[in-house]
Structures are given as structure tokens and as C-alpha cells.
């Protein structure tokens, strides 16, 4: 096997892409900060007893595990940062009020999660703890929309759902937990044929509503409004009505608070992680990508396993994926070419230019210039006894 060969769905990040990722990371963390979010940096690996304390089966399967030679205990390389941030909020910070935390760092997956995705995403996200109201959901949604806008994506679509809807629909029907999980899986794949076959064995009062969930997706306005259709075909019970009312109110308030609201849809079959989320769910899609580019929602009480149950909501994105979807043409950064001459005055001039944010590239002896990231449109030339920035091609007197 070639020494340079990398594992499947793992790739190097080359200069141009690396610069764009780093620039986007800085922009997003700065935006999180002006919302009041504090940056945390959880470790890359933890004991699995902590890292996977309340993980569902899918997260457990995505996690690389290894034996710690120091303690003899099992370690896991994080596949998701959210449980770690929940641990920080619940066990380390232990604040009584609302806590806003953000993060940006790599995660590792045993398998790629979608088409053309990496097993080493650069996960960036924000989490809000200590507020169970719609106000927190609105703040997180607005921050998520800012994130996509700052990423340079256009024409993205926001899809809303609710993790508690399936439980509300089958409430009182006496279904076993494995039946509910099977329904959840079929809804996630929108496998209507298999869902209809399974529904034939369900109690009569939930057969039609369960099958109907698979088709309850689409727009939020007009005669075909998805929420209006849901009220017609789903059981008229307190839990179902509360969830539909909550989604309707959220859509209306989002239109008032988001400066540039994208196309909004409702997809009541999208229930995300069954054991992970507890309320509002949202995801964003963009043309040219088969996977959701952003996912988030409410996951109350996930910190209970760390000794402190708290209301929580948040979202995350993969910066590598966002940069790959950017349509703007990448412009090389203008730079200044400087000769390689041992001259204290030249060294001082270069230091001064770099302190001002200019890129200065010195020409090493007997080497070609092959920088991809920079275009040297100016050069340092010696005019009299002073090193001066001049257009490329200007004549210069080299001081020996």
C-alpha cells in the first residue's frame, strides 16, 4: 500500500480551502460572541462512560473507541461535541441562569454520514442552556440563519419539525417501544409502503395518522399549508394540538425576528435522533447538497446524566462542508515580493509591513515562486537608501 494513501472519506485540507475554512471559523465565532456565546474547547477524547452516557445507538456506532493504556478504561474519540458541552454546563460551570456556549473543533466518525461527506467534520455550533421557552428557540434559529448567511450560501431552505410529535400521535395506543422505534425509522426514510404494511398491525385509532405523518411536509402558507393539513389528519388531542400550535407560533415569530427569512418548510416526518432531541427540530438544505447542511433543535435534560437536568437548545454545522458549497470565486490575496538580502533596513521594512497586515513573501535564493494563495502585485525596491513598495517590474538597486 502506498505510504501517502489516506483512509476512505478522509482527506487533506489544502491551502486555499484551509484559508477559507479558517476565515469562516473566525467570522462565525465572532458572530456567536456578539450574541453573548462563550467559547469552550472540550477534549478530543473522553472515557466512553461520559462521552456516550446518554447516546443513542447511531452515535455509539459512529464513535471510534480505544483502550486507555494509562487507566485500562475505554476511551472514545468524540463523534459529536454537543454531549461534551452539556457536560461542561451541567457539571463544571454549574450556573443557575441561562448559559450560552459555542465551540468549533474536529469530530471523527467511523463511517461517513452522507454522500460526499468526510469522516472528519469540523463541527461548529452554539448551545443555549437554562431556558425552556420559545424565546430560546427563536434566538438559536436566528443565530443559525446568521451562520448560513455569513457562510455565503444563498437559496437555502429551513425545515421545521418536532421530536415529540410521534409520541403525541400514538399516545394511549399501547404501542411497545420497539414498535415506536420502527415507525420512527420508517418515517425518517419516508418509506410509505413499509409504513402502510406495518400500520396494518397497529390499533385502528393510530393507523391513518401514523401513515399520514410521512406525507406531512411542504410549505407553510396558502391552501396547501402543511400545518393546516396536519390539523385535519392527526388526532385532535391536547399533546398534538400543543405541538402544532407551537410550530405555528414559531413560524410567525421567526418571520418578525429574522431580517432575511429563507424559504421555510415543515417536515413532520423528520424526527432526527429519537433519544437525543425532545422538542423543536430544524435543519437547513441548499441546492447541490443531498444532506442537511445544518441541524439543530431542543434536547432538554441531556445533562441529567451528568447530575443536572437543564433545558437546552442548539445547532451545529460542518465548516468543511459549508466552504465546499460556497459559490463565490476564491480570490488570491495580494502580496508584496521582497528580495532575500541581508539588510537590517530591509528586515525592518518587512516587519513594518507585516505588522500592518500586509503579506510579504521573500524570494529564497535559487527557488521558483509557486504560491497558490498569494498574487504578488507589488515589490520592495531600494530607492536611494530606503526600501519602498512599488509595482511589480519596477527597477531596483540591490544593496549588497
The answer to whether position 397 is within a domain reads no
Handedness of CA 201, 205, 206, 207 (dihedral sign): positive
Please tell me whether residues 213 and 317 are part of one structural domain. Answer: no
The answer to whether position 217 is within a domain reads yes
The answer to whether position 59 is within a domain reads yes
Domain ranges, residue 19: 1-154+298-330
The answer to whether position 283 is within a domain reads no
Last residue of a domain, one of 253, 271, 289: 271
Report the number of distinct structural domains present in the chain. 3
Last residue of a domain, one of 271, 288, 307: 271
Please tell me whether residues 91 and 202 are part of one structural domain. Answer: no
Q: What is the pLDDT of residues 70-110, one digit of tens each?
A: 999 999 999 999 999 999 998 899 898 999 999 999 999 99
Q: What is the share, in percent, of the chain residues with pLDDT greater than 70?
A: 95
Cα distance between residue 205 and residue 219, in whole Å = 27
The answer to whether position 277 is within a domain reads no
Please tell me whether residues 320 and 349 are part of one structural domain. Answer: no
Residue 153 reports pLDDT greater than 90: no
Please tell me whether residues 260 and 313 are part of one structural domain. Answer: no
The answer to whether position 58 is within a domain reads yes
Please tell me whether residues 46 and 175 are part of one structural domain. Answer: no
**In the sheet where 386-391 sits, what is the strand order?**
360-363, 333-339, 374-383, 386-391
Please tell me whether residues 121 and 171 are part of one structural domain. Answer: no
Q: What is the phi-psi region of residue 272: left when phi exceeds 0, alpha when psi lies from -120 to 50, beta otherwise?
A: left
Cα distance between residue 347 and residue 83, in whole Å = 49
**Residue 337 to residues 135, 171, 340, 346, 368, Cα–Cα distance (Å):** 53, 71, 10, 12, 13
Please tell me whether residues 122 and 211 are part of one structural domain. Answer: no
pLDDT at 395: 57
Please tell me whether residues 102 and 1 are part of one structural domain. Answer: yes
| Averaged pLDDT, 318-345 | 86
The answer to whether position 285 is within a domain reads no
Please tell me whether residues 21 and 142 are part of one structural domain. Answer: yes
pLDDT at 273: 63
pLDDT at 398: 45
* CATH number assigned to the domain comprising residue 7: 3.30.930.10
Please tell me whether residues 136 and 37 are part of one structural domain. Answer: yes
The answer to whether position 282 is within a domain reads no
CB 144 within 8 A of CB 117: no
The CA-based dihedral angle spanning residues 275, 280, 284, 289, taken in that order and rounded to the nearest 10 degrees: 20
Please tell me whether residues 170 and 264 are part of one structural domain. Answer: yes
Please tell me whether residues 97 and 221 are part of one structural domain. Answer: no
Residue 308 reports pLDDT greater than 90: no
Indicate the range of 192-206, 288-302, 334-348, 362-376 predicted with least confidence. Answer: 362-376
pTM value is 0.88
pLDDT band at 400 (very low <50, low <70, confident <90, very high): very low
**In the sheet where 280-285 sits, what is the strand order?**
38-39, 99-106, 122-129, 312-318, 294-298, 280-285, 157-162, 263-267, 217-218
Amino acid at each position: 500500500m502506498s505510504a501517502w494513501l489516506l483512509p476512505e472519506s478522509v482527506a487533506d485540507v489544502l491551502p486555499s480551502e484551509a484559508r477559507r475554512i479558517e476565515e469562516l471559523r473566525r467570522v462565525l465565532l465572532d458572530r456567536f460572541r456578539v450574541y453573548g456565546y462563550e467559547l469552550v474547547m472540550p477534549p478530543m477524547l473522553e472515557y466512553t462512560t461520559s462521552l456516550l452516557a446518554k447516546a443513542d445507538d447511531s452515535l455509539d456506532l459512529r464513535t471510534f473507541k480505544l483502550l486507555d493504556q494509562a487507566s485500562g478504561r475505554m476511551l472514545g474519540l468524540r463523534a459529536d461535541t454537543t454531549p461534551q458541552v452539556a457536560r461542561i454546563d451541567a457539571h463544571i460551570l454549574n450556573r443557575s441562569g441561562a448559559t450560552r456556549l459555542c465551540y468549533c473543533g474536529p469530530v471523527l466518525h467511523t463511517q461517513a454520514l452522507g454522500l460526499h461527506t468526510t469522516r472528519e467534520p469540523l463541527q461548529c455550533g452554539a448551545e443555549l442552556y437554562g431556558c425552556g421557552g420559545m424565546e430560546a428557540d427563536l434566538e438559536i434559529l436566528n443565530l443559525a440563519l446568521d451562520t448560513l448567511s455569513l457562510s455565503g450560501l444563498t437559496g437555502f431552505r429551513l425545515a421545521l419539525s418536532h421530536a415529540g410529535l410521534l409520541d403525541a400521535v400514538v399516545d394511549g395506543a399501547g404501542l411497545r417501544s420497539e414498535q415506536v422505534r420502527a415507525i420512527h425509522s420508517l418515517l425518517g426514510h419516508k418509506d410509505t409502503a413499509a409504513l402502510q404494511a406495518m400500520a396494518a398491525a397497529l390499533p385502528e385509532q393510530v393507523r391513518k395518522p401514523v401513515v399520514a405523518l410521512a406525507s406531512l411536509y411542504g410549505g407553510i402558507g396558502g391552501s396547501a399549508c402543511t400545518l393546516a393539513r396536519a390539523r385535519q389528519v392527526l388526532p385532535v388531542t391536547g399533546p398534538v394540538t400543543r405541538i402544532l400550535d407551537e410550530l405555528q407560533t414559531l413560524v410567525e415569530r421567526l418571520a418578525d425576528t429574522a431580517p432575511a427569512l429563507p424559504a421555510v418548510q415543515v417536515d413532520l416526518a423528520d424526527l432526527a435522533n429519537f433519544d437525543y432531541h425532545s422538542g423543536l427540530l430544524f435543519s437547513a438544505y441548499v441546492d447541490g447538497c443531498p444532506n442537511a447542511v445544518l441541524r439543530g433543535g431542543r434536547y432538554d435534560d441531556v445533562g441529567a446524566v451528568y447530575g443536572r437536568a437543564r433545558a437546552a437548545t442548539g445547532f451545529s454545522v460542518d465548516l468543511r462542508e459549508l466552504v465546499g458549497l460556497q459559490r463565490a470565486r476564491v480570490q488570491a490575496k495580494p502580496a508584496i515580493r521582497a528580495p532575500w538580502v541581508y539588510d537590517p533596513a530591509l528586515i525592518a521594512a518587512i516587519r513594518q509591513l507585516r505588522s500592518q497586515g500586509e503579506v510579504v513573501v521573500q524570494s529564497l535564493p535559487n527557488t521558483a515562486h509557486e504560491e497558490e494563495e498569494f498574487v504578488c502585485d507589488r515589490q520592495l525596491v531600494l530607492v536611494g537608501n530606503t526600501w519602498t513598495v512599488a509595482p511589480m517590474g519596477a527597477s531596483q538597486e540591490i544593496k549588497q
